[in-house]
Structures are given as structure tokens and as C-alpha cells.
Amino acid sequence: MASAETVTTSESSNGKAAQSRGPALGFRSAERESTVGPLEIQGALPEWLEGSLLRTGPAKWEVGSRSMRHWFDGLAMLHRFSFAGGSATYASRFLESKAYRAASEKGEISYSEFATDPCRSLFQRAFSAFSPKLTDNANVNLTKLGERFIAMTETPIPVEFDAETLATVGVAYDVPGTLTTAHPHLDRASGGMLNYSARLGPRNQYRFFLLSPESERPQVIARRSVREPAYMHSFGLSERWIVLAEFPFVVNPLRLALSGRPYIENYRWKPGLGTRFTLIDRATGEASGPFETDPFFGFHHVNAYERGGEVVVDICVFPDAGIIEDLYLERLRAGKPVAKPELRRFRITPDAGSVSHELAATDGFDLPRINYGLCNERPYRYAWGVGWGASGWLERVVKADLESGETRTWAEDGCFPGEPVFVAAPEKRGEDDGVLLSIVLDSARESSFLLVLDATNLQEVARATVPEAIPFGFHGQFAPG
């Protein structure tokens, strides 16, 4: 078992094989669903760890004679690690979306994905501008809303599923827009969900909406007009403000409708626009800003909060949008390195109309997590994520102390961890009192394991081995039992 301090590497006789095989194994399509258990466990799972880690992610890129082009395009698979009495089980099941059913029945890619478009005639492309065939391939994230579990992507078709069987239920709710994010926030007051959408058309709008736990129709609480919408993967939330960060990666909606190119290939990097922050009052919907700063690109907000007349916004950022090009499958399967992010802290001073920024941690990472129950919207100290290694891919679990800027990491030779989900201990004493759960690909053994780390020091607590390689996914959450 590996321990952690700065970077800890576990040496083994098959280290060279692990390095030669590398992360490409994580982009091999899954061909079957699984039910496995009890899993072989090294170490001991905490007795208090009761419930399920639920995740979604791309898992099948080949359909018929064609392959999807980008990591983000793969057909979604749901995963569940369940814990009870110190034991663990694993199950996986494809999300039976319209896109998945069409691919299975026709043997071809039938819906446009992030960077993959079905072969269509000019007439079909023009017609799709007026009657778009949007994918419901919800492979990015999932959340719990009331008693419902919902898988999401960036198209406005969230899909409800059964958390026990992983069976697909159907469309979860209506989204008031053409595009959306798969990173909603909890509205503490109502128990509902806050999210963003973009409505594209003659008059483009950013829209923020609130969905109550039992509703299928959200309430739009704020609107903002925009000429060229920016690519938006997530947004920030403080106790007073919705934080809109517009990176200069923008799209002309007419190009999106008529170019015939896959969705993301219609966006253009325009660094001259800079990064623009807008603060939207959650109570009134009124906007302040935009507050402009240097050009960056990012997928994931970490947290936002207010302190001393400032709004502090932490985001994992890249110098430009080239990371999207880096994540095409041809590059990933060839072992090409990808751009590395940094954790940057933006300080917005509304009264002065200004924004400044600084590095927030000495070691960059992405797929960030915090103690959401305690710290979302509020001042916080710790964040966890996954960081890059010598292979040019995600090789380390990283913990950042945002007061000191120092980081601590876990790593093991030939192993590639996914997003570390924080689970608070029942008698929590501090912000980081709990464990992290991460699905790790062991490239030497061509299998995966569920890694359990002490969130305070990243020491390994246990691992539960799955006798198969789980494709690299994105996001999920822990559902207490």
C-alpha cells in the first residue's frame, strides 16, 4: 500500500510493464455490465462507511464500424460501489439513454456528441438547425434531488435512474435552455437545485434556474443577455451571489446551428476578451459587473465565498482552451501528454469594480472536491483533486491546504486515480475529518480498485479490488445508506 507525504511511489517488479501500458487502458471500451461482490479488500473499511459511491462516465466509444472522437463522447455507464458491515460490492450498467438505445439497435452513432457528429447530408444538417437531435448521453455527473437520482451532461436532457438497480427511469426535468451544466449547486434554503443554462437563438441568454426537489419545471431566477455565449462547464456560488465566469472560449450560435461541425468545434478562443466575472444577486436576480481580468480557461469551480468586501472564487484553470484538443481519443490512446491546470484564486471587489488573481496552491490539480456539506458557499481550508504525473496523465490524489498553499499527495506506480469523493466521518471534528473514495486504474494488473484514503493525511485505509478495468470517468457522489 502506498502512503503519502509529498509524492510517494510504490515500487514493484511489474513497474516497467505498468509504465509501458500506461493510462491508455482507461480509454478502452467496456463491453459488458457487471455485478461483483463481495470484493477482495486490503486493509479495513471504516465500520461507519455505509452507503454507495455512485458515478457516471463515458465507457463505450466504438459503435459499429465507427469510433467516437473525444473522451467526453463515450456512451455513459453508471457505477455503484456499495459498503456495509466492512464489506463492499460493485455493479455497473449502461445508462439506457436514447443515444445508447439507438447505437445498440442500429449499430451506428445516431446522436451528435461533444466532438462527434453522425454522418449527415447537407439537408439533414440544415434541418437539424431547426429541429436539433440533442443527445441525452448523461456521462458527466450525477446528483440527488429530493429522493431522485439524476445523471447529467451539457445538453438539456437530464436522466433519472434507480440508485439500487442502476436502471434508467427517464427524463428528469425540463431545462429552460439549449445548453446547461452538469455541476448544479444545492440551494440550502429550499433543498432544491440551482443550475445554469444558455438559451441560443435570435436573442441569446444566460439563465439561472431553481428546481425544487419534487418538481419537473424549474423557476428561472435570473437572466442575462449575451452576444457570443462562452463555454460554461460549471459556475460558482456564494451565500449572496451566483458567480458567472466567462472564459474567452465563445461561440456564434449561427455557426453552431449551420456549420455541420461537432458541437465543441464551433467554439473559438478569443483571448482579447479576457475572463469576465459577473455577480448575480440570488435574492433579486440583479447583476454586478462584468469584472475583467486575464484570459484563462477552466472546467471546474472549486468554491466561492465572501470575505471583507471581496468575493473569493477558486477555479482550476488552464492558460487557454487547448486542453480540449488534448482530450481527443487519438491523442490519449497514443499516450500524448495533456495540459496541466493550476488552482487559481480570483478576488472580486465589487465596490472597486476590480478583480485580481493569484496561485492558491503549489501543486495544480483538477476534478476538485471539498467538504460540500460544511463548506460550499463558505470560507474553507481544504480541497482535494487529481494531479498530473510523468506520464502526462492523472497519477496522483492531491490535497491542498489553502491557508498555507502547501499540498500533500498519494501516488502508486502504474496507477491512475479518478476524482476523490470526500465522505465526512459521523463524529466529524474538523473540515477534513473523513475519507476519500477514488476509483483507481491499475494498468499493470489491467484491473481497477476502489481506494479509501484518510482525508486528513492521504494515508491509505483500504482498497477494494474489481477484477476488470473500469474506464476513466468523471464525477459522482456518495449516497449514505
How many CB atoms within 10 Å of residue 202? 6
Alpha-carbon distance 3 to 134, whole Å?
A: 45
What pTM does this model have? 0.92
Alpha-carbon distance 264 to 460, whole Å?
A: 39
How many CB atoms within 10 Å of residue 32? 7
For residue 366, which phi and psi values (nearest 5 degrees)? -140, -170
The answer to whether 443 touches 21, Cβ cutoff 8 Å, is yes
Per-residue model confidence (pLDDT) at position 191: 94
Alpha-carbon distance 198 to 210, whole Å?
A: 14
The answer to whether 109 touches 66, Cβ cutoff 8 Å, is yes
Find, among 344, 184, 339, the residue nearest to 275 by Cα. Answer: 344
Alpha-carbon distance 259 to 356, whole Å?
A: 37
Q: Which domains does the chain have, with CATH numbers?
A: 4-480 (2.130.10.10)
pLDDT tens string for the chain (481 positions)? Answer: 443 333 333 333 333 333 336 899 999 999 999 999 899 999 999 999 999 999 999 999 999 999 999 999 999 999 999 999 999 999 999 999 999 999 999 999 999 999 998 865 444 444 344 345 689 999 999 999 999 999 999 999 999 999 999 999 999 999 999 999 999 999 999 999 999 999 998 889 999 999 999 888 999 999 999 999 999 999 999 999 999 999 999 999 888 777 778 899 999 999 999 999 999 999 999 999 999 999 999 999 999 999 999 999 999 999 999 999 999 999 999 999 999 999 999 999 999 999 999 999 999 999 999 999 999 999 999 999 999 998 899 999 999 999 999 999 999 999 999 999 999 999 878 999 999 999 999 999 999 999 999 999 999 999 999 999 999 999 999 999 8
For residue 363, which phi and psi values (nearest 5 degrees)? -125, 125
Per-residue model confidence (pLDDT) at position 6: 33
Per-residue model confidence (pLDDT) at position 202: 84
Find, among 470, 444, 467, the residue nearest to 55 by Cα. Answer: 470
For 2, residues 6+ apart whose C-beta sits below 8 A from its C-beta are 8, 9, 10, 410, 411, 412, 460
Q: Tell me the three cell numbers of residue 445.
A: 494488473
Ramachandran class of 97: left when φ > 0, alpha when ψ lies in -120 to 50, beta otherwise: beta
Alpha-carbon distance 254 to 31, whole Å?
A: 38
List of long-range contacts for 13-17, beta carbons under 8 Å, 24+ apart? 14/414, 14/444, 14/445, 15/413, 15/414, 15/444, 17/414, 17/444
Alpha-carbon distance 215 to 61, whole Å?
A: 34
Per-residue model confidence (pLDDT) at position 215: 87
Find, among 175, 290, 172, the residue nearest to 224 by Cα. Answer: 290
Per-residue model confidence (pLDDT) at position 119: 61
Per-residue model confidence (pLDDT) at position 26: 96
The answer to whether 210 touches 194, Cβ cutoff 8 Å, is yes
SS (H, E, C) the chain: CCCEECCCCCCCCCHHHHHHHHHHHHHCCCCCCEEECCCEEEECCCCCCCEEEEEEEEEECEECCEECCEHHHCEEEEEEEEEECCEEEEEEEECCCHHHHHHHHHCCCCCECCCCCCCCCHHHHHHHHHCCCECCCCCCEEEEECCEEEEECCCCCCEEECCCCCCEEEECCCCCCCEECCCCEEECCCCEEEEEEEECCCCCEEEEEEECCCCCCCEEEEEEECCCCECCCCCEECCCEEEEEECCEEECHHHHHHCCCCHHHHEEECHHHCEEEEEEECCCCCEEEEEEECCCEEEEEEEEEEECCEEEEEEEEECCCHHHHHCEHHHHHCCCCCCCCEEEEEEEECCCCEEEEEECCCCCCEEEECCHHHHCCCCCCEEEEEEECCCCCEEEEEEEECCCCCEEEEECCCEEECCCEEEECCCCCCCCCEEEEEEEEECCCCEEEEEEEECCCCCEEEEEEECCCCCCCCEEEEEEC
